[in-house]
Amino acid sequence: MPFSENTLRTNLSGWFGYQPRFIEANCVKLDKSYDLAIATQWDTAELVARQSADHKAYFIQDFEPFFYPIGTEYLLASNSYALGLTPITIGNWLQTKCSTPYGHPNLTTPFGADPFIYHPFEQSKEYAICAIYQPEKPRRAFQMLLDSIEIMLALDERLTVYLFGSTQKPQVNNDRINHLGLLTTTECNELYNSCLVGISMGTTNPSRIPFEMMSAGLPVIDLYCENNLYDLPNDVVTLADPSPDALATATLSLINNAEKRERSARKGLKFMQDKTLEEEGKSFANACVQLVNRETSPISSNPVQYPHRAIKSNAECSTAFKDIQEKRLSDLRAEAEPQVIPERNIALELVGEIVQDTEYSVACWSCSDQSDLVWSSLNESEDRRLVGHLDLRKASEEPRPFHFHFYMKKRADEQPAFMFGVNKAVKLCSTIYDATEERQMTATFENEEYRIVLAAERNSNETPCLRPQINIHSRLGLFSRIRHR
């Protein structure tokens, strides 16, 4: 989307503290001849290639084709390296990947960290790990991270996990997983100093996060992928085979090896001594000067910095992961089984914090044309539950999916706003079933998880009645915090 000059100036100042003298916004052709024009991502490379600047460079910070599945964008991003621009890469792997194959000279800047922000200080360590969690970026392999954490928590009852880096909450239900959201750089350093191990999973280039963790004295776990073998230092970072159980194996092993942790922290600090952001900036400026003065280095290949083999999964973590997978399959089978409900009336309860002066309702149907659609208002009970009743006499007795959609509105003159929906295969019948039987399913809406329980309701004489009830509980008790559509 196009931005105005003022917007660009404001963003540059706010994001980077940089105020350029000149900005040309939304230009197709530069109206001046420049000594150097630099593309900074793949979809700007072709624009720079068309300019009349004396020198044209391409600052490559990730192998951007990996941002996409194989297709048009992947191919166009790959083609951007063959447009004749001189690459300036951050890190050695990108130089090997994007410069050498095309006959470009070596112009590389190292990864740096700000030592005034990321540094160790005296603080007692918590029996905990921290991990960068960004589900909006598939290249962060967030599901593999969550699977590995589930394994670790199953095998180590003392362990606490801190996730950071995103406003999106993980869909997990474990009190030992703490989602911190977006942190300031100072808060990141405090977190790194309080944990035993840090996890950063980069797949398109080494992330800057491991270098900042090393600068803070935190031992690092990452993935054993090609992109991490040229820049992450030997005997400092531990690289695990890219699988949940191998990642769990590497992390638990490091947690339980104090000597190795201390050695990794010490060597990491030494490695980062001269790798500051200031030095990184100077290196980039020097690369630009070399390019303009035609003083670039000859083409050469970079050696692998990490000679060790990947950490493989041990038997304990492999078994734990298999158990987790089997339970997931069992839960999926249970969800697919029709729920038997006697009679045709359902008492429905929504349990959680209720937003005051708000009307709630639920719609239920099973036919594709919604010919059996029924609505019910949800009224607040004395114990602050929302209670409604659904008459399903129009519904078929054949097992079929039923859809429950929940709505809310704050004013009488507005249309109900959709909140969330849950689906369940249901079989209606006229047989009394065991009142102690309880069947559950879960649903998630806007990062909140709900539990739906179908069970028989009892009257005052403790005899089963023919009105089952659906209880919808917020596991986190945060119903009022839901973002409504």
Query: What is the phi/psi pair of residue 110, to 5°?
Result: -80, 165
Do residues 168 and 310 both lie within one domain? yes
Do residues 182 and 69 both lie within one domain? no
Residues 6+ apart with CB under 8 A from 477: 352, 353
Q: Are 321 and 246 in contact (CB under 8 A)?
A: no
Q: Does residue 391 belong to any structural domain of this protein?
A: yes
Average pLDDT for consecutive 10-residue bins of the chain (485 residues)?
82 84 79 87 93 92 93 95 92 86 82 96 95 95 97 98 96 93 97 98 93 98 95 93 98 97 97 94 94 78 86 98 95 79 71 78 90 89 79 80 89 87 78 48 52 45 38 33 29
Give the pLDDT of residue 284.
Answer: 95
Give the pLDDT of residue 353.
Answer: 64
Q: Does residue 241 belong to any structural domain of this protein?
A: yes
Q: Residue 391's CB: how many other CB atoms inside 10 A?
A: 12
Q: Does residue 119 belong to any structural domain of this protein?
A: no
Give me the CATH number covering residue 474.
2.60.40
Place of tokens 């409504």: 484
Structural domain count, the chain: 4
Do residues 359 and 408 both lie within one domain? yes
Give me the CATH number covering residue 135.
3.40.50.2000
Place of tokens 């007795």: 397
Do residues 172 and 311 both lie within one domain? yes
DSSP 297: B
Q: Does residue 285 belong to any structural domain of this protein?
A: yes
Q: Does residue 411 belong to any structural domain of this protein?
A: yes
Do residues 349 and 285 both lie within one domain? no
Do residues 180 and 314 both lie within one domain? yes
Give the pLDDT of residue 433.
Answer: 47
Give the pLDDT of residue 80.
Answer: 94
Give the pLDDT of residue 300.
Answer: 66
Closest CA to 163 of 204, 128, 196: 128
Q: Does residue 449 belong to any structural domain of this protein?
A: yes
Do residues 19 and 55 both lie within one domain? no
Give the pLDDT of residue 435.
Answer: 43
Amino acid identity, residue 371?
S
Q: Residue 17's CB: how many other CB atoms inside 10 A?
A: 7
Q: Does residue 456 belong to any structural domain of this protein?
A: yes
Closest CA to 224 of 140, 311, 143, 147: 311
User: What is the signed CA dihedral for 241, 245, 250, 251, rounded to 10 degrees?
Assistant: 130
Helix, strand or coil, per DSSP, at residue 468: strand
Give the pair of three-digit tokens for residue 345: 């009336």
Do residues 18 and 91 both lie within one domain? no
C-alpha dist (Å) from residue 440 to 331, 336, 406 = 10, 12, 18
Q: Does residue 123 belong to any structural domain of this protein?
A: no
Tell me the residue range of the domain where 59 lies.
33-112+276-300
Do residues 103 and 190 both lie within one domain? no
Q: Are 427 and 398 in contact (CB under 8 A)?
A: yes
Tell me whether residue 274 is exposed, middle or buried, using C-beta atoms within 10 angstroms of its C-beta: 0 to 12, 13 to 18, 19 or more: exposed
Do residues 201 and 150 both lie within one domain? yes
Do residues 188 and 313 both lie within one domain? yes
User: What is the signed CA dihedral for 188, 192, 195, 198, rounded to 10 degrees?
Assistant: 100
Do residues 222 and 145 both lie within one domain? yes
d(CA 47, CA 410): 50
d(CA 179, CA 186): 17
C-alpha dist (Å) from residue 453 to 127, 335, 387, 471 = 36, 12, 14, 5
